[in-house]
Structure 1
Amino acid sequence: MSTDHAIMAPADAESPRYRVAVRALCEFTARSGDLDLRFTPAPTAQQGIAGHQVVASRRGEHYEHEVTLEGRYGALIVRGRADGYDPVRQRLEEVKTRRGDIDAMPDNQRALHWAQAKVYAALMCRERELEAIEVALVYFDIEQQRETVLVETMDRHTLEAFFIAQCERFIDWAEQELAHETARAQALGQLAFPHADFRPGQRALAESVFKAISTRRDLMLQAPTGIGKTLGTLFPALKAMPGQQLDRLFFLTARTTGRRLALEALTTLGMANSCEEAGEPGVRTLELIARDKACEHPELACHGDSCPLASGFYDRLPGARQAAVQQGFLDHDSLRSVALAHRVCPYYLGQEMAHWCDVVIGDVNYWFDTSAMLYALTRQHQWRVSVLIDEAHNLVERGRAMYGAEFDQNRFAAARREAPAALKRVLDRLWRQWKALLREHDGDYICLDAPPRKLFNALSQFVTSVGDLMVETPIALESALLEAWFDAMQIVRIAELAGECDASHYLFDIERRGRSATLSLRNVVPAPLLAARFEGAHAAILFSATLSPGHYYRDQLGLGSSTPWLEMASPFTAGQLEVHLAGHISTRYRDRRASLAPIAELMAHQFHQRPGNYLAFFSSFDYLEQVSEALAEHAPDVPQWSQARRMSEPERDAFLARFTPKGQGIGFAVLGGIFGEGIDLPGERLIGAFVATLGLAQFNPVNEQMKTRMEALFGDGYRYAYLYPGITRVVQAAGRVIRSPEDQGVIHLIDDRFRRGEIQALLPRWWTLPPGARHNVDIR
């Protein structure tokens, strides 16, 4: 395998067996002291590349840029690329792009940088047969475009001794990883499907996944809920790992329920208790969760003077890391238990364990976001990975969100009120630019021809100033100033990305609401940005119950036109599901008042005909509340409960808890919201659903601009901006009803537009619609 952590099959007993990158070696051996994040965020990848190029351009013609070096010590091969070498001065340079004053840099951070420089220098002395060499740390400030150079002259023997010391510290771990690699291959070779047989359609699903990974192809799979997609994709992906020499398997999802299902599937496969003879699991699993949910002390800053779990973090990390690999199955609770037992931060222990676990489960942003950790690690270590993307239809909107940003006037006003005096000047300048922009553009909605550069320059200065301030004055995680700082960094980063894309792929607009306004940088089509991430994987498997039409998702996600799209046969029969079309009711905005009584009558009739638990979906909270009132007046005996705006997690749990096996009533929810997908209410817990909307996005200036862009790009603006996403929401919501081959249920599709042939063509094939249901109806 061509990986920095990869084990090489030895040609003979003396051959090297383990390769490690210089950076990975030093991060393992040379870090000590406190975790200290007062200087984050680091420059973006693009800024880092640009900074290195600036430094190289300032050197002479003889300067060697990115010099590949490699050296052996015992069972190790250490390799990497030195940033630069001046053969005339015999100076090796390690370049670090950064923000802020380097004099305030923690000693342990600078020690790590020196360690990397010294290892490169030792390898350079070996290769060029040098007796001495200048070793230079070059700190390049990306804001000021200024270099600070620290230089030491070192002899070959001193550097060789340092190199050997680092290898000695790592070699025991390398031998452990070699043993783990062997045990993992053995465990996966013996892995068997955990049930007596596959569910209907599940075998075909698994075979398709195995074939795609084995032939290094991306694959789009539409498979109905209940087929066992999670187990049916994880099992073949794991089986393919040894044969394809894969280093990692990433299971990515947009919802917490997806992570839970993946962990349950791995437990079913025996991953939670499959142990090597040495007592360590043959396959290591890690669940990654968001920082705000993993942080034990959100009121404290992330450095040793503030947080006890950051103090001495790197000194205690080796023990925590060893305990974590022995634990092996690291869901959130297990990882937290290990972290607290060793008094280290659970979140950053999870970040560390991402280097050493075979299966990683996390949100899609860990691979696709602008600062995606798993993607960065894969590139850094040259891993060969397969990526499983659960509920992949969500990736369109998630992609737009990840590659978009906004300037919210209220959030920045709150930051301005609480900011210290040191930031007054930069915030006043930012506020002046914002007010000037608003004076220049009048109206409730303005679509800009180009991003407002003066405002973005002021935002960039704000980012720098807050970063400088944090050197001396830590800021707690929960503060308006820090939120505004993160927002500003995202805006600056996205503005750079937008400048690199086709102009039609971004929309810059201002929306006024009363006395407040928001500037948005909207990503219209995430395809160009997501495509690079798909190319970074050995194979990507995208699966969902709603992934049609295939061309729409290929166009939006940046998949090649030849990417296979397969639909798995449903394990369900038409007899399990009654589908009714309420073609006499219109749910268009202009017709909603007239629709209230007919919908209430329909719902009451169905409930009285077959009492039980139902879900009712509507296009908005206002519409939901109006129908709820109408039903309460028409049939006060029908129990009902409703989704509320901004529900807390306990409130969501209480909503779902009402759906008991013997319960009766109707739960009202908003289509496309938290109860529209990702919830599992099998059997009698849910016997029916009412969908009183076509799921179309609201007609407003923003969505009309999106439609115009889609029309220009794909020639089908209405379907791309409104229809396809809307029907996906409808099918997802209706999919809550039938969850297993034993379920029986009913769906009422309430809107006259469901009678139109082109709408019905987008519904699941196994649904049987009532005779004579198709008519030509205006779908707009």
Structure 2
Amino acid sequence: MQYTVPVRALCEFTAKAGDLDLRFTPAPTAMEGIAGHNAVTSGRGGGYEREVALEGEFGRLKVRGRADGYDPGRNRLEEIKTHRGDLSRQPANHRHLHWAQARVYGSLLCEARGIESLTVALVYFDIATQKEKVLEQTHSRAELRAFFEDLCGRFVAWADQELAHREQRDAALTTLNFPHAEFRAGQRELAEAAWRAVTRGRCLLAQAPTGIGKTVGTLFPVLKAAPAQKVDKVFFLAAKTPGRRLALDAVERIAAGEPRLPLRVLELTARDKACEHPDKACHGDSCPLAKGFYDRLPAARANALQGAAMDRDALRDAALKHSVCPYYLSQELARWADVVVGDYHYVFDGSALLHALAQEHGWRVALLVDEAHNLLERGREMYSASLDPVALRAVRRTAPAKVKRAMGKLARVWDELGEGQSETYAVREKLPDDWFDELQRTSAAIADHFAEAPHEPLPQLQQFWFDALAMLRLADSFGEHSVFDVTLRQGPRGTDALPCIRNLLPAPFLGPRLRDSHAAVLFSATLSPFGFYADVLGLPEDAASVDVPSPFTAEQLSVSLVRSISTRWQDRESSVAPIAALIAREYEARPGNYLAFFSSFDYLRRVATLLRERHPDWPVFEQSPSMPEADRHAYLARFAEGGRAIGFAVLGGSFGEGIDLPGDRLVGAFIATLGLPQVNPVNEELRRRMGRVFGAGYDYAYLYPGLRKVVQAAGRVIRTREDRGRVVLIDDRFARPEVRALLPSWWRVEVH
């Protein structure tokens, strides 16, 4: 069995040394890097070769990659690096790594073409000045081969270890047994569909009810199919922290058989939660965990990989034992893990770590996307960006002279953004070129300042720069999937214009990521109608779907539809008393734990206040806006077994999905809204755009997202085959045929 490694990965593994140091960054953006490479190579002679594919072998090791360029006339191989600022400030270990890459490419070229002597060059191209600095070395073929073999010799022991691990892992996965005595009802059908998706290399949209064990039901078949399909990695993506925990626990159960499955499982945690020294910068002169990071990394890496589970706590222990940064250790371990559990953005964001690694290494990846209905809104967030003029004014006051001048020009153009706009919100037909030109110049000025500044960057200036870069990146890919809008806001200095590139349809961004994977399984209890999610998420045309029947029966869940009450905006005031009376009657008839869902905090507060006034001794409590995690735990703790409580919550919020209150911890739910998004200028623009693209504007913008939240909230009541409960739908619109069609088919709805 051969082990393939990219040139860059080989060099990073063997030639990186010294401190973790981000001071010579910010590096140019990806677009600037491409433009810089093009600027260098376009000026070369006619025979110049670009992106030269090369590969070579050392025992069981296969090394491959693409050299930036080769000039046959000069017999010079070039490794091109774009940068900003004074090269003398470049850390020595950065330069050392660049030379290693150039020499490895040089050796591969000499062996491929029989070249006996070669000039190897590092070409540094300054994005700001558009000037090159060339560093050259001339080596014989033998010298380059010796360097290549030295790196490979240092890597080959690791490669042999990885090959042995892969062989053991695949052998164990082939004979893997289901971790429970039998499948739950519906779980086998889900598992079979996931198996077919992996074996056929397809994308699957799977709707499966809560309580059947979707996490195990997707992970088990994907892992078992991995060896035959030569799947390198499984990426399990969750929308929230509880979803990550469920996945880690599920893999632990699957791997806990006899003999124990040799499976490396990594949890990726956000930088702000993993950082041990948030008050320090990421370099050796500031943070002790960055000092000598690459010197201590091999021992930390080996220590972490000794344990199969590398969750947040285990990683922290391994990192601190070897005095390295836990966050950057986890980034390194993503290369060597079999299963990686993390947030959606690690694959779907514009600068996604896992997607970049998969592309670099050529991995065959199986994606599992949990609670996939959340990917629509998260995708929109990932590919939207906005800027606030208040932030510009704040950083401009303390900005260095050159940056301040650029910001002054930007501010003048910014003041013109809102001219002639009579409405608070307006969509512009095209991007304002003048504003984006000045934003680009300001961004470049900040980048030049950071590249030259000897001190730590001001956090506010750095954040403004990051936000500006996000806006500029999205401007490069602007199209029918997004709108450019301007919102006017009255402030102490007059009217401010808030520009935004707002993504409405994430499919053009998410779809390519799904197609890059070998197989993808997107699953949730609410993915209906399938056509809607296939359209907005960009699923391939040959994507499969499965709707797993519910194991629950109508006898378990009593569903009542109260159409004598309207929760429309104009009827809110008159609905408060009838809803409070309805909740009181139900509670008195069947005492227990209930959740009552409303469309807003104001609405729920009014009903809860009236209920408390009428029944001051009842245990009535409310969700609050921006509820801290500790308060959320305390809220849920009030739903005790055998207890009595009435909790008020916002539909679509923290308690509308992702919580588990089995048995009599929750016996009923009141849902006093269809969950339809608020009618406002942004959602109306979404309705128009969805109508133009798909011909179903209202359904795509309002109806489907709203009813999804209703079904999710109702799903909190019945969690197991033993549960019994009640759901009360409060609004006459629930009786409409198009709405009833979106409710679970196993519900038997009684209309009152």
What is residue 122 of structure 2 aligned with on the other side?
Answer: 137
What is residue 3 of structure 1 aligned with on the other side?
Answer: none
Mapped pair 1:255 → 2:237: no
Supply the AA of the counterpart residue of 1:636: P
Measured after TM superposition, the shift of residue 41 of structure 1 is 4.4
Matches within 5 A, 1:257-406: 257-270=242-255, 282-406=262-386
Supply the AA of the counterpart residue of 1:137: L
> What SS does structure 2 have at the residue aligned with 1:153?
strand
Mapped pair 1:514 → 2:487: no
Deviation string 1:58-85 (CA, Å, 9 cap, x unpaired) is: 2111001111112222232222111110
How many Å separate the matches in 2 of 1:655 and 1:491? 38
TM-score normalised by structure 1 residue count: 0.93
Measured after TM superposition, the shift of residue 463 of structure 1 is 2.8
The farther-off stretch of 138-147 and 156-165 is: 138-147
State whether residues 99 and 464 of structure 1, in contact with CA within 8 Å, keep that contact through their aligned partners in structure 2.
no
Measured after TM superposition, the shift of residue 682 of structure 1 is 1.3
How many Å separate the matches in 2 of 1:731 and 1:649? 24
Matches within 5 A, 1:460-499: 460-471=440-451, 472-475=453-456, 479-498=459-478
Supply the AA of the counterpart residue of 2:93: N
Mapped pair 1:444 → 2:424: yes
The structure 2 residue matched to 1:753, chosen from 733, 740, 744, is 733
Supply the AA of the counterpart residue of 2:501: L
How many Å separate the matches in 1 of 2:385 and 2:731? 35
How many Å separate the matches in 2 of 1:351 and 1:522? 30
The farther-off stretch of 397-406 and 43-52 is: 43-52
State whether residues 418 and 488 of structure 2, in contact with CA within 8 Å, keep that contact through their aligned partners in structure 1.
no
Measured after TM superposition, the shift of residue 461 of structure 1 is 2.9
How many Å separate the matches in 1 of 2:112 and 2:436? 47
The structure 1 residue matched to 2:511, chosen from 515, 518, 531, is 531
Mapped pair 1:239 → 2:224: yes
Measured after TM superposition, the shift of residue 410 of structure 1 is 3.3
What is residue 700 of structure 1 aligned with on the other side?
Answer: 680
> What SS does structure 1 have at the residue aligned with 2:641?
coil
> What SS does structure 2 have at the residue aligned with 1:438?
coil
Aligned-residue Cα RMSD (Å) equals 1.8
The farther-off stretch of 187-196 and 348-357 is: 187-196
Mapped pair 1:669 → 2:643: no
Deviation string 1:572-605 (CA, Å, 9 cap, x unpaired) is: 1111111111211111111100010011111111
What is residue 45 of structure 2 aligned with on the other side?
Answer: 60
Supply the AA of the counterpart residue of 1:262: A
> What SS does structure 2 have at the residue aligned with 1:244?
coil
State whether residues 24 and 89 of structure 2, in contact with CA within 8 Å, keep that contact through their aligned partners in structure 1.
no
What is residue 407 of structure 1 aligned with on the other side?
Answer: 387
Mapped pair 1:560 → 2:506: no
How many Å separate the matches in 2 of 1:418 and 1:617? 47
Measured after TM superposition, the shift of residue 523 of structure 1 is 0.8
What is residue 521 of structure 2 aligned with on the other side?
Answer: 541
Supply the AA of the counterpart residue of 1:663: G
What is residue 778 of structure 1 aligned with on the other side?
Answer: none
Measured after TM superposition, the shift of residue 421 of structure 1 is 5.1
How many Å separate the matches in 2 of 1:725 and 1:600? 26
What is residue 671 of structure 2 aligned with on the other side?
Answer: 691
Measured after TM superposition, the shift of residue 483 of structure 1 is 2.3
Measured after TM superposition, the shift of residue 133 of structure 1 is 1.2
Deviation string 1:278-298 (CA, Å, 9 cap, x unpaired) is: xxx611000011111111111
How many Å separate the matches in 2 of 1:413 and 1:652? 37
Supply the AA of the counterpart residue of 2:239: A
Mapped pair 1:637 → 2:617: yes
Supply the AA of the counterpart residue of 2:306: Q
How many Å separate the matches in 1 of 2:711 and 2:454? 51
What is residue 149 of structure 1 aligned with on the other side?
Answer: 134
Supply the AA of the counterpart residue of 1:161: A
> What SS does structure 2 have at the residue aligned with 1:65?
strand
What is residue 205 of structure 1 aligned with on the other side?
Answer: 190
The farther-off stretch of 542-551 and 673-682 is: 673-682
Mapped pair 1:175 → 2:138: no
Measured after TM superposition, the shift of residue 56 of structure 1 is 2.1
Mapped pair 1:214 → 2:199: yes
> What SS does structure 2 have at the residue aligned with 1:320?
helix
Supply the AA of the counterpart residue of 1:246: V
Mapped pair 1:430 → 2:410: yes
Measured after TM superposition, the shift of residue 245 of structure 1 is 0.6
What's the % identity of the aligned pairs? 56
What is residue 659 of structure 1 aligned with on the other side?
Answer: 639
What is residue 5 of structure 2 aligned with on the other side?
Answer: 20
Supply the AA of the counterpart residue of 2:77: L
> What SS does structure 1 have at the residue aligned with 2:255?
coil
Alpha-carbon distance change, 72 to 452 in structure 1, aligned in 2, over 3 angstroms: same
What is residue 601 of structure 1 aligned with on the other side?
Answer: 581
How many Å separate the matches in 1 of 2:404 and 2:745? 61
State whether residues 35 and 310 of structure 1, in contact with CA within 8 Å, keep that contact through their aligned partners in structure 2.
yes
The farther-off stretch of 754-763 and 635-644 is: 635-644
Measured after TM superposition, the shift of residue 688 of structure 1 is 1.2
The farther-off stretch of 122-131 and 253-262 is: 122-131
How many Å separate the matches in 2 of 1:763 and 1:53? 55
What is residue 229 of structure 1 aligned with on the other side?
Answer: 214
The structure 2 residue matched to 1:92, chosen from 69, 77, 83, is 77
Alpha-carbon distance change, 318 to 749 in structure 1, aligned in 2, over 3 angstroms: same
Deviation string 1:91-136 (CA, Å, 9 cap, x unpaired) is: 0011123344333211111111110001111111222222221111
Alpha-carbon distance change, 68 to 745 in structure 1, aligned in 2, over 3 angstroms: same
What is residue 437 of structure 2 aligned with on the other side?
Answer: 457
State whether residues 559 and 726 of structure 2, in contact with CA within 8 Å, keep that contact through their aligned partners in structure 1.
yes
What number of residue pairs does the alignment pair up?
A: 747
Supply the AA of the counterpart residue of 1:641: F
How many Å separate the matches in 2 of 1:142 and 1:266? 46
> What SS does structure 2 have at the residue aligned with 1:245?
coil
Supply the AA of the counterpart residue of 2:599: S
Measured after TM superposition, the shift of residue 441 of structure 1 is 3.3
State whether residues 26 and 450 of structure 2, in contact with CA within 8 Å, keep that contact through their aligned partners in structure 1.
no
Deviation string 1:596-637 (CA, Å, 9 cap, x unpaired) is: 001111111111122222111111112122222122223223
How many Å separate the matches in 2 of 1:41 and 1:576? 58
What is residue 505 of structure 1 aligned with on the other side?
Answer: 481
State whether residues 176 and 224 of structure 2, in contact with CA within 8 Å, keep that contact through their aligned partners in structure 1.
yes
What is residue 730 of structure 1 aligned with on the other side?
Answer: 710
What is residue 107 of structure 1 aligned with on the other side?
Answer: 92
Deviation string 1:285-333 (CA, Å, 9 cap, x unpaired) is: 0001111111111111111111111111101000011111111210111
How many Å separate the matches in 1 of 2:429 and 2:144? 56
State whether residues 18 and 292 of structure 2, in contact with CA within 8 Å, keep that contact through their aligned partners in structure 1.
yes
> What SS does structure 2 have at the residue aligned with 1:637?
coil
State whether residues 39 and 467 of structure 1, in contact with CA within 8 Å, keep that contact through their aligned partners in structure 2.
no
